[in-house]
Chains A and B, each alone.
Chain A
Amino acid sequence: DIQMTQSPSSLSASVGDRVTVTCRASQSISSFLNWYQEKPGKAPKLLIYAASSLQSGVPSRFSGSGSGTDFTLTISSLQPEDFATYYCQQSFSTPRTFGQGTKVEI
């Protein structure tokens, strides 16, 4: 199985901050990397696919980059509705695997 490791596990930030979350794969996954946002009591929401493509309807302040084993999710200017947990997930091979999550707190 491909292991996905996110850092940090949690972070504190303020509205307007630039926030970066990192995800590392245990082997090269090319650009087969997705990012999801999860809020308490809600299903995860797809933000980014193919490492850097913005899913339809997702605000442009979200962006993704990277390839191979190292990936980054960036929120350019944190908004109140962005406080949530973020997960990376590889779609390179099965079983699909997720990172452990990064909680973005106020």
Chain B
Amino acid sequence: QVQLQESGPGLVRPSETLSLTCTVSGGSINSYYWSWIRQPPGKGLEWIGYIYYSGSTNYNPSLKNRVTMSVDTSKNQFSLKLTSVTAADTAVYYCARQGLLGVESSYYYYGMDVWGQGTTVTVSS
């Protein structure tokens, strides 16, 4: 059974860079898209972006200039970097697998079917 685990600092100073890693266990990182999602305290879910195992990426335009994702297939890990953080970036950060759940009439249906437990990142001096 595939499991995901986020890791990284729980506290980041304003204007610095948030760095998180998601380790995939129980399965291969290959052939999947891998997403980052965040949830500010008391608020809803925001999709940050995804990375394919080959390294191609797709970022949310609202964060695009500050986000970089990377993948290390040899370690079965993928990572998130968010630069120039402010208090608005304080959130629970989740990594998730974007699985191909169904194909119908050449339409491909994706959903985030495996999630990490989430890690709280606080931006504060």
Using a CB–CB cutoff of 8 Å, the interface residues on chain A facing chain B are: 1, 30-32, 34, 36, 38, 42-46, 49-50, 53, 55, 87, 89, 91, 94-101
Partner of A44 from the list B101, B102, B107, B112 (CB cut-off 8 Å) is B112
Q: How distant is the Cα of A30 from the Cα of B44 in the complex, in angstroms?
A: 23
Q: How many residues of B contact A (CB 8 A)?
A: 26
Q: How distant is the Cα of A50 from the Cα of B111 in the complex, in angstroms?
A: 9
- Closest-by-CB residue of B relative to A98 is B45
Q: How distant is the Cα of A95 from the Cα of B38 in the complex, in angstroms?
A: 14
A32-B109, A53-B102 known; A98-B115 Cβ under 8 A: no
B residues less than 8 Å from A55 (CB atoms): 101, 111, 113
With both chains docked as a complex, state the minimum distance between the C-beta of A99 and any C-beta of chain B, in angstroms. 7
Do B112 and A50 have beta carbons less than 8 Å apart? no
Do B116 and A87 have beta carbons less than 8 Å apart? no
Do A101 and B101 have beta carbons less than 8 Å apart? no
Partner of B113 from the list A1, A46, A89, A98 (CB cut-off 8 Å) is A46
A45-B115, A50-B101 known; A95-B61 Cβ under 8 A: yes
Binary A-proximity of B91-122 (CB < 8 A = 1, otherwise 0): 00010100001101001011111011110000
Do B101 and A49 have beta carbons less than 8 Å apart? yes
A-B contacts, 30 listed (Cβ < 8 Å): A32-B107, A36-B45, A36-B112, A43-B96, A43-B116, A43-B117, A43-B118, A44-B112, A45-B115, A46-B111, A46-B113, A49-B109, A50-B101, A50-B109, A53-B102, A55-B111, A87-B44, A87-B45, A89-B111, A91-B111, A94-B58, A95-B59, A95-B60, A96-B35, A97-B47, A98-B44, A98-B46, A98-B47, A100-B44, A101-B44
